[in-house]
Chains A and B, each alone.
Chain A
Amino acid sequence: MLAAATLALLVTVALALARAALGPTVFDRLQACSTVGTCAMLVLALLGFLGGRPEFLDIALVYGLLNVIGVIAVLKFFLHGDTNKAGAKSTSEDTPS
């Protein structure tokens, strides 16, 4: 059952990758990335059980944290062109140095 669940997760990752390739807007691609991240977390946990090495769970935990922070950071970059700006949407189109 563990192997079957891993296989189903890999199929889900493939579907999400298809959406990331097709997605018309950047938000579709980001949503697909977030889904891939969640699936990767679960695959890591399942792999730990498959190989009898529960240390993989720590990696899954760190991956989950990075996933959320990564999505929000990329989102900020695409909204403001800068990861360092908080608050209102920037009006200028120029890229910061």
Chain B
Amino acid sequence: MTIFIDILSALFLAGGAFFCLVGGIGLVRMPDFYTRMHGASVTETLGAGFMLIGLILQAGLTLVAVKLAMIGLLILFASPTATHALAKAALRSGLKPQLGKQPSDDEVTPSKP
């Protein structure tokens, strides 16, 4: 039973490591600021989440697991707020997003000053 939990935990840790790396690669590869945020959000949701689940599996039903869950909740509640604040501030300061190549009607330019 313990070996099964160990393998599951290792799988989750490997998944978390993979998604963290993907987020980092996205942060470097993407062409402009707004698209880079999407790359970073992969690190913050799936990367962090999988890694914390892997650690919780190793900790078992202890206070350590509760603290790990608290860290996870903190990331899930706080990181979207910081991301939203960054995106809003960037748009307000006049940073124009680079939009897709093919033109279409649903693109809007922000009307706020």
Which A residues lie at the B interface, using CB under 8 A? 1-2, 4-5, 8-9, 11-16, 18-19, 22, 25, 27-28, 30-32, 34-35, 38-39, 41-42, 45-46, 49, 54, 57-58, 60-61, 64-65, 67-68, 71-72, 75, 78-79, 89
Query: What separation, in Å, do the CA atoms of A68 and B48 have in the docked complex?
Result: 15
Query: Which 4 interchain pairs have the tightest Cβ spacing?
Result: A15-B24, A8-B17, A12-B24, A1-B10
The interface residues of chain B lying within 8 Å CB-to-CB of A28 are: 33, 36
Contact B21 A31 (CB under 8 A): no
Closest Cβ of chain A to B4, distance in Å, is 15
Contact A4 B37 (CB under 8 A): no
Closest Cβ of chain A to B30, distance in Å, is 9
Query: What separation, in Å, do the CA atoms of A22 and B36 have in the docked complex?
Result: 13
In the complex, which of the residues B24, B33, B64, B85 contacts A57, with contact meaning CB atoms closer than 8 Å? Answer: B64
Which B residues lie at the A interface, using CB under 8 A? 9-10, 13-14, 16-18, 20-21, 23-25, 27-28, 33, 36-37, 40, 43-44, 47-48, 51-52, 54-55, 58-59, 64, 67-68, 70-71, 74-75, 78-79, 81-83, 85-86, 89-90, 92-93, 95
Number of interchain pairs (Cβ within 8 Å): 138
A4, A14, A28, A30 pick with most chain B CB within 10 angstroms: A28
Query: What separation, in Å, do the CA atoms of A71 and B18 have in the docked complex?
Result: 25
Q: Is the interface of A mostly helix, strand, loop or mixed?
A: helix
Known: A38-B79, A45-B55. A11 touches B21 (CB 8 A): yes
The interface residues of chain B lying within 8 Å CB-to-CB of A58 are: 67
The interface residues of chain A lying within 8 Å CB-to-CB of B25 are: 15
In the complex, which of the residues A8, A22, A61, A75 contacts B85, with contact meaning CB atoms closer than 8 Å? Answer: A75
Contact B75 A35 (CB under 8 A): no
Contact B14 A32 (CB under 8 A): no
Contact A11 B24 (CB under 8 A): yes
